[in-house]
Amino acid sequence: MSTFYWSAKTFVVAPATRLLFRPWVKGRAHVPAEGPAILASNHLSVSDSVFMPAMLDRQVHFLAKQEYFTGPGPRGWVTKKFFQATNQLPMDRSGGQASLRSLESGLECLREGKLLGIYPEGTRSPDGRLHRGKIGVAKLALASQAPVVPIAMIGTDRVQPIGRTLPAPRRLGMIFGEPLDFSGRTESATDHRVLREVTDEIMEAIRRLSGQEYVDVYAADVKSGRVPAPPRPGRD
């Protein structure tokens, strides 16, 4: 754990999180005390990457969107330095070889016995619902044979909804589920059907923990308008 990360977490982030947001936590013991693991979480707020690691003893290395490392101007420089100092890994979400190279950095992190945080939805939920997962999480799980810990962040969308600069002091929660073991399917690591099955199992585990409504479309497609947001039950 880097000195900056440990100091910031121990003396600033964790105390502030406990004081201002009074987080409740269930299942923390499901996170391995040592060795690699994939922490696969729903994604409701940009602050998810702050709140969840603050409640764990071990450092979490997140696959963070590449835009956090390439922003313009002084603000972009500060953001880049912060993410680099906290050992976050840039994730290219454009697809193809660029995305595969980004996943390789996550795989290397797991090979080194670290905790890797990932949001299988690929981006924050635009409507509070749980969206279709991308298969990158399955590729990492099968290639590394690391356990996958499903996580539900609760109420962080009310603490810091999309468009809000600073989080509002409100209580939030998180639930860590039992680790999922996919080591028996490693020989099918290149089979798209198996990758989709593994991803869907992970998303179902997150859904059970979070209680969110699941919609079988990608969050990024809803955000971009490429596909309309599915109607909620009971609405026209």
Which tens digit of pLDDT belongs to each residue from 61-115? 988 767 767 778 887 777 677 666 666 777 665 555 555 676 888 999 999 999 9
Does the global pTM surpass 0.85?
yes
C-beta neighbour count of 64 within 10 angstroms: 18
What is the reported pLDDT for 99? 58
**Residue 229 covered by a domain:** no
**Residue 118 covered by a domain:** yes
**Residue 234 covered by a domain:** no
**Which residue in 146, 156, 76 sits closest to 118, CA to CA?**
146
**Residue 58 covered by a domain:** yes
Which 3 state secondary structure label does DSSP give 210? helix
Digit-coded pLDDT (tens) for 182-214: 999 988 888 999 999 999 999 999 999 999 999
Instruction: Compute the distance between CA of residue 126 and CA of residue 129 in angstroms, rounded to an integer.
Output: 8
Question: How many domains does the chain divide into?
Answer: 1
Beta bridge partners of 118: 40
C-beta neighbour count of 178 within 10 angstroms: 13
Determine the structural domain holding residue 79 and report its residue range.
3-20+34-224
**Residue 230 covered by a domain:** no
What is the reported pLDDT for 236? 47
Instruction: Compute the distance between CA of residue 206 and CA of residue 120 in angstroms, rounded to an integer.
Output: 10
**Residue 57 covered by a domain:** yes
**Residue 232 covered by a domain:** no
Instruction: Compute the distance between CA of residue 193 and CA of residue 173 in angstroms, rounded to an integer.
Output: 34
pLDDT mean across residues, the chain: 88
| Among 87-91, 97-101, 125-129, 225-229, the least confident range | 97-101
**Residue 25 covered by a domain:** no
